[in-house]
Amino acid sequence: MDTIDLQKLADDIIAGRRLTREDDLSFFIDADLTGLCSGADRIRAALVGDFVNLCTIINGKSGKCGENCKFCAQSAHHHTSCDIYDLLDADTILAAAKSNESEGVRRFSIVDSGHGPSDADFEKIIDICERVHRECTIKLCVSLGFMTDEQFRRLAAAGVTRIHNNIETSRRYFPHICTTHTFDDKLANIRRAKAAGLEVCSGCIIGMGETPEDRIDIAVTLSELGVVSIPINSLMPIPGTPLEHQRRLTEDEILRCVATFRYINPEIDIRLAGGRALMSDNGIRTFTSGASASITGNMLTTSGSTIQSDMAMLKGLGRKV
């Protein structure tokens, strides 16, 4: 498909057309990248606007995860040098939320390693969420793995507005990445969260050995799930994990993925997440290729970015942050 066709498709999407699993989407694999990114940015501008949604995370509990996801440094199945600690105390998490809020960030996420929190940790997390909700205006998100209907409802009552739970990859490729839970387990967990009235942030990690067709399938699945935010992570191979020797993605591959996801998910946040070090200038080109949001934070030392440097970069593009 040439540039003119891509721009026509962008016009059609802006006018209301939506791409589905029934469409032939194979053109995304080798469409002209410049035209694809240009069309994706036009869709972003028309349907999402110039505001960039920034969020930060705190690793509330680290390591000793019983799941065997091949990409993850925190899995107990692998031998990495990741930090290992139990759930942080409420004062530490609250201080981080207030610090991020003071720098202008609008959303803060508490991330917990493991299949799901223990009963004791869950009660502590509820208390922490209630305290953050009382003392901050920053919107609260949690990434806690698998939970019950009742746990999701209690999180919503405690002030949590959004759950993060990546599907990671396509249904076809998922068994090559993890065998301790299934793709359907992921989908069921997301649906439980939505049934409890929570928004869902769910995305993927690209560069794990999946095909371009798999990446298109991920974008379609997320569209079908009705998530409100899609973080796109690019694999940074971690020593000690089964993917430590995986080929690193090129910047063009990342841009193609971001733009494709925008065409298929035109009205929601496409969020730049992990792997920014693979791109020049901390991924600035993704924001002219369909991206409308980003994970940021002063803890993102691997990418060399801080909250203030990200804000300066985005303001330089004329975006509102």
Q: Global pTM?
A: 0.94
- Over range 202-221, report the average pLDDT: 98
Q: Is the alpha carbon torsion for 230, 233, 234, 235 positive or negative?
A: negative
- Listed range (10-14, 85-89, 180-184, 295-299) with the worst mean pLDDT: 295-299
Average pLDDT in the 286-299 region?
Answer: 89
Q: In the predicted model, is pLDDT for residue 305 greater than 80?
A: no
The pLDDT score that the predictor gives to residue 101 is 93
CB within 8 Å of 282: residues ≥ 6 apart: 276, 303, 304, 305, 309, 310, 313
Q: How many Cβ atoms are within 10 Å of 248's Cβ, its own excluded?
A: 13
Lowest mean pLDDT across 70-79, 111-120, 149-158: 70-79
- Per the CB < 8 A criterion, the answer to whether 141 and 160 are in contact is yes
**Does the pLDDT value for residue 228 go beyond 90?**
yes
With a cut of 90, say whether residue 281 has pLDDT above it. no
Give residue for tokens 């997440």: 273
Give the confidence band of 297 by pLDDT, cuts at 50, 70, 90. Answer: confident
pLDDT at 4: 58
222 by Cβ neighbours in 10 Å (0-12 / 13-18 / 19+) ranks as buried
DSSP for 148-215 reads -HHHHHHHHHTTEEEEE---BS-TTTHHHH-SSS-HHHHHHHHHHHHHTT-EEE--EEE-SS--HHHH
Q: Is the pLDDT of residue 127 over 90?
A: yes
Give me the mean pLDDT over the 224-243 stretch: 94
User: Using 50, 70 and 90 to split pLDDT, how confident is the model at 84?
Assistant: confident
What's residue 300's pLDDT? 44
Averaged pLDDT, 21-48:
97
β-pairing, 160-164 vs 199-201, is: parallel
Mean pLDDT, range 182-188, rounded to an integer: 97
Confidence band for 62, pLDDT divided at 50, 70 and 90:
confident
Q: Does residue 115 carry a pLDDT above 90?
A: no
Per-residue confidence band for 302, with pLDDT thresholds at 50, 70 and 90:
very low
Q: Coil, strand, or helix at residue 275?
A: coil
The full set of domains in the chain, from first to last, is: 51-313 (3.20.20.70)
CB contact burial 273-309 (16+ within 10 A = b; e otherwise): bbbbbbbeebbbbbbbbbbbbbbbbeebeebebbbee
